[in-house]
């Protein structure tokens, strides 16, 4: 019996070996342009990585159907880092050394991106990150770009809205990952100038499942007028729920990390009234037809929702923008020489993406202005534009 199994296995192996060379040869023929992608498709940051992966796959498939780039097909090599910086580093090395890709898009989280920022810079590898923390592009690294709006812009929007509402004393909560700590630093750094006082400043575990103890502390701190929560993990929904359960009825501001309708859905009624800055993708139906982004956003939303039967999120949008930036730059450079493509990215002007209109410069590797954000809120379970 055992022998039979062995023989069977052997036969399978031989079969696979026979098939392989032909498959490889077929690929080599078209000389595909290789683009690497590191997304946290699974793990605590899967709310980001999964839509990014789906979006990137969708775009590349579409591109290849339309004839590819410079007459060559594009091959997207996706690695799932599960949100782990260690895995991101080893995947980045693999993409650089073994796959010899032209550019890497992703990772999904700021923590991972910061771990591979130097690695890419040293290897002169183009990195277009889908993570938001400002430290990714400040200080500027020659080969590193990112697609989401900057933290500091999100903080500016939040503080401006607070001023309008007459709020000056806040409690700051953040998760203990790259995004959370980068946001915390921005808020701390910009608070004084904006006349905002942070009375309570707490960091929670990124896998936290209950935050009532921290929120009890907030409740017990006299004078707190609003809560700012800065994270990308499901804790964003838990904060909203726990606040209501504790009877803590003050405004909740979240970061642009809240830009996935799933978070609002997960918090149910508790999400009502949550305020957060985000790109216009979530409110595309409310945009005027004259808005330059309207066409791009509507098309992306339609394609994505038809293909995957789920709501679009701004995170998928960051993946969209990353693919768009790399492919546009390859077209502009009319070459797959890495340095030429890099120069082309840095000179992209007026490129309409999902996060906003990109105007890259040697000093600004995000290229988005403050108006890439809008203040949003949750009303009747739907994300909508916040109106004073």
Partner 1 sequence: MGSGDLILQYLLSGITKGSIYAIVAIGFNLIFSATGVLNFAQGEFVMLGGMIAVTLSFYVPLPVAITGAVILVALIGCLLEVLFFRRLRRHSIMHMVIITIGLSIVIQEIALHLWDEKVRSLPYFTGKEISSVAVFGATISPQVLWVLGTVAVVFVLLHAFLRYSLQGRAMRACSSNPEAAMLSGINIANLRTLSFGLSAGIGALAGCVISPITMTQYEMGGPLAIKGFAAAILGGLGNPMGAVAGGLLVGVLEAFSVSKLPAAYNDVTAFAVLLLVLFVRPQGLFGSPTGDGVREF
Among 47, 91, 253, 373, binds partner 1 (CB under 8 A): 47
Closer residue to partner 1, CB minimum distance, 172 or 281? 172
* Cα–Cα distance measured from residue 66 to residue 236, given in angstroms and rounded to the nearest whole number: 40
Q: In terms of Cα–Cα distance, which of 122, 163, 125 is closest to 36?
A: 125
Q: Is 294 in the site for partner 1 (CB under 8 A)?
A: no
Kindly tell me which residue out of 59, 171, 214, 383 binds partner 1, with binding defined by CB under 8 A.
214
Helix runs in the chain, H state only: 2-30, 46-65, 85-93, 110-122, 151-165, 178-194, 212-220, 235-245, 261-267, 294-308, 314-333, 338-346
Sheet holding 74-80, edge to edge: 74-80, 33-39, 103-105, 126-129, 144-146
**Does position 86 bind partner 1 by CB under 8 A?**
no
**220 binding partner 1? (CB under 8 A):** yes
The answer to whether 37 contacts partner 1 (rule: CB under 8 A) is: no
Query: Using the rule CB under 8 A, which residue among 86, 164, 205, 305 binds partner 1?
Result: 205
Using rule CB under 8 A, residue 141 touches partner 1: no
Q: Which of 35, 36, 46, 259 binds partner 1 (CB under 8 A)?
A: 46
Distance of closest approach, residue 385 Cβ to partner 1, in angstroms = 23
**DSSP letters spanning 241-265:** HHHHHTT--S-EEE-GGG-SHHHHH
Block residue for tokens 């918090």: 267
Q: Is 236 helix (H, G, I), strand (E, B) or coil?
A: helix
Our CB check for partner 1 shows the closer of 214 and 296 to be 214
Look up residue 269 and give its two tokens: 């009624």
Among 138, 160, 168, 176, binds partner 1 (CB under 8 A): 176
40 vs 186 by CB, closer to partner 1: 40
What CA–CA distance (Å, rounded) separates 73 from 66? 10
Instruction: Examine residue 269 and tell whether it contacts partner 1 (CB under 8 A).
Output: yes
Question: Which listed residue (41, 125, 171, 348) binds partner 1 by CB under 8 A?
Answer: 41
Q: Which of 34, 262, 294, 379 is the binder for partner 1 (CB under 8 A)?
A: 262
**Total Cβ atoms within 10 A of residue 135:** 17
> Phi and psi (nearest 5°) for 146?
-145, 155
Minimum Å gap between C-beta 322 and partner 1 is 20
Write out the residues near partner 1 by the rule CB under 8 A: 41-44, 46-47, 50, 176, 202-205, 207, 209-210, 212-214, 216-217, 219-220, 234, 237-238, 240-241, 244-247, 262, 266-270
């Amino acid at each position: 019996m055992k022998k039979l199994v062995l023989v069977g296995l052997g036969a399978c192996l031989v079969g696979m070996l026979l098939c392989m060379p032909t498959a490889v040869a077929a690929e080599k023929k078209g000389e595909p342009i290789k683009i690497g992608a590191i997304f946290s498709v699974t793990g605590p940051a899967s709310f980001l990585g999964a839509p990014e992966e789906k979006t990137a796959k969708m775009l590349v498939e579409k591109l290849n159907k339309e004839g590819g780039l410079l007459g060559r097909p594009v091959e997207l090599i996706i690695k799932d880092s599960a949100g782990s910086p260690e895995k991101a580093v080893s995947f980045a090395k693999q993409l650089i050394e073994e796959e010899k890709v032209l550019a890497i898009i992703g990772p999904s989280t700021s923590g991972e991106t910061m771990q591979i920022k130097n690695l890419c810079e040293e290897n002169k590898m183009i990195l277009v990150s889908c993570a938001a923390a400002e430290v990714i592009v400040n200080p500027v690294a020659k080969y590193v770009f990112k697609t989401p709006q900057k933290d500091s812009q999100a903080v500016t929007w939040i503080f401006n809205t607070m001023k309008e509402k007459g709020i000056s004393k806040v409690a700051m909560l953040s998760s203990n990952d790259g995004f959370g700590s980068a946001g915390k630093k921005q808020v701390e750094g910009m608070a004084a100038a904006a006349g905002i006082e942070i009375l309570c400043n707490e960091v929670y575990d990124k896998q936290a499942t209950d935050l009532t103890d921290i929120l009890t502390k907030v409740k017990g701190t006299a004078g707190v007028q609003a809560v700012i929560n800065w994270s990308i993990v499901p804790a964003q929904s838990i904060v909203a729920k726990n606040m209501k359960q504790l009877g803590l009825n003050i405004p909740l501001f979240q970061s642009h990390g809240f830009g996935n309708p799933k978070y609002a859905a997960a918090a149910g009624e508790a999400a009502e009234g949550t305020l957060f800055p985000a790109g216009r993708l979530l409110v595309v139906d409310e945009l005027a037809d004259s808005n330059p982004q309207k066409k791009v956003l509507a098309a992306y939303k339609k394609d994505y929702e038809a293909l995957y039967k789920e709501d679009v999120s701004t995170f998928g949008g960051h993946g969209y923008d990353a693919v768009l930036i790399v492919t546009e730059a390859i077209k502009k450079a009319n070459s797959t020489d890495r340095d030429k493509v890099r120069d082309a990215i840095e000179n992209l002007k007026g490129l309409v993406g999902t996060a906003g209109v990109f105007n890259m410069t040697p000093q600004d590797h995000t290229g988005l202005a403050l108006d890439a954000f809008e203040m949003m809120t949750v009303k009747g379970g739907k994300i909508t534009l916040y109106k004073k």
